[in-house]
């Protein structure tokens, strides 16, 4: 089981980990530090933006049977002012990875869950 959780949802990390372990699953956590996305786009070269670590991502897809993605934002405007072309290139570079995940899911070998974790920044927008 692959779990993506941002730093701003840290309060949910331990309860989620406990629940996953209690049902006997094998969690692999990806803890996403707040602010790293903006920093990446500000500093990365085009080659770094479009780099695809094929072996790593293929192995990741191979190991995944379920994905849990926690959606939470520390800063709703983190990417404001970032060139949208950089973001588009990054998304396009991940096409092969997304297709492998989609294929595995369509074969019934993987499923996913998306959950929203409210943060002060998100509440401020409401």
Tokens of 2: 């692959």
Q: Is residue 122 part of a domain?
A: no
How many folded domains does the chain comprise?
A: 1
CATH number at residue 110: 3.40.1830.10
Q: Is residue 86 part of a domain?
A: yes
Q: How far apart are CA 20 and CA 103, in angstroms?
A: 25
Task: Give per-residue pLDDT as tens, 67-126.
Answer: 999 999 999 999 999 999 999 999 999 999 999 999 999 999 999 999 999 999 999 988
Q: Please, are residues 122 and 73 in contact by the beta-carbon 8 Å criterion?
A: yes
Q: Is residue 21 part of a domain?
A: yes
54 is in which domain, residue-wise? 2-117
Task: Give per-residue pLDDT as tens, 32-76.
Answer: 999 999 999 999 999 999 999 999 999 999 999 999 999 999 999
Q: Is residue 108 part of a domain?
A: yes
Task: Give per-residue pLDDT as tens, 15-28.
Answer: 999 999 999 999 99
């Amino acid at each position: 089981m692959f779990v993506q959780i941002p730093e701003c949802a840290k309060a949910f990390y331990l309860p989620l980990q406990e629940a996953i372990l209690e049902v006997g699953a094998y969690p692999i956590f990806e803890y996403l530090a707040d602010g790293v996305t903006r920093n990446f786009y500000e500093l990365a070269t085009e080659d770094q933006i479009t780099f695809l670590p094929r072996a790593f991502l293929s192995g990741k897809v191979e190991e995944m049977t379920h994905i849990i993605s926690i959606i939470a934002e520390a800063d709703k405007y983190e990417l404001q002012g970032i060139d949208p072309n950089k973001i588009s290139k990054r998304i396009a570079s991940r096409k092969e990875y997304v297709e492998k995940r989609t294929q595995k899911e369509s074969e019934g070998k993987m499923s996913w869950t998306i959950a929203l974790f409210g943060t002060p920044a998100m509440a401020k927008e409401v």
